[in-house]
Amino acid sequence: MESTSFTDIDALVRDGKVVMSADDGTVVAAVQDALRAGRSVTFYLSRAQAAAVKAWYWTPQRVESRGMEPVSREERERITSELGIKDIGPAHSNRIACECGAQYGAFEFVEQGIAEHGRKAVDAVLDLEYAYVLRVNPVTPAVCSVCRTTVIVGHEYDMASRYGCSRSEGSFPL
């Protein structure tokens, strides 16, 4: 490990973050524990760790009950053309309806991410080569882009193929 990696770790810990290093089974168990306990955590997983958690979490019944579907080519193109985000590749998302009648899906998720975190942060996540970002039990609600109200039902989104995981491995709540 290069010394700059330790410097990065030290800076994260200084800022109140935790860095965990463990075998895959321990990391997967930590994710499962957070999901079951309802704790809000962001994990930066390896592809293998993400695939293991996805295989456990996204049962066919859960995929069906959450309405997960591939993000259409048209919606991916809209994300690129209207939001200026490079092609996200194959992705999966559910669509939820706001009380005002508007829909919240992958486009709105990326749009909200840019509004809350900035384009550079969204690009940085999309540029990760080895890490899979997994938000578990997030506290950030979906916000309707039309009426600006909080959408009560949860939106879920995943870029399964981008991270080398097949669709059968599923997706995650963000």
pLDDT at residue 164, rounded to an integer? 38
pLDDT at residue 53, rounded to an integer? 92
Distances in Å between the Cα of 133 and the Cα atoms of 47, 81, 100, 168 are: 10, 24, 31, 18
Query: What percentage of the chain's residues is helix, strand, coil (to nearest 5)?
Result: 45, 15, 40
pLDDT tens for 107-156 read 999 999 999 999 999 999 888 889 988 888 888 888 999 999 887 665 56
pLDDT at residue 162, rounded to an integer? 40
Give pLDDT < 70 ranges for the chain.
1-4, 152-174
Residue 68 and residue 155 in contact, taking contact as beta carbons nearer than 8 Å: no
Q: Is the dihedral of CA 127, 128, 132, 136 positive or negative?
A: negative
Please give the Cα distance from 96 to 147 (Å, whole number): 14
Question: Which residues lie below 8 Å from residue 174, measured CB to CB, with a gap of 6+?
Answer: 109, 135, 138, 155, 156, 157, 158
pLDDT at residue 2, rounded to an integer? 52
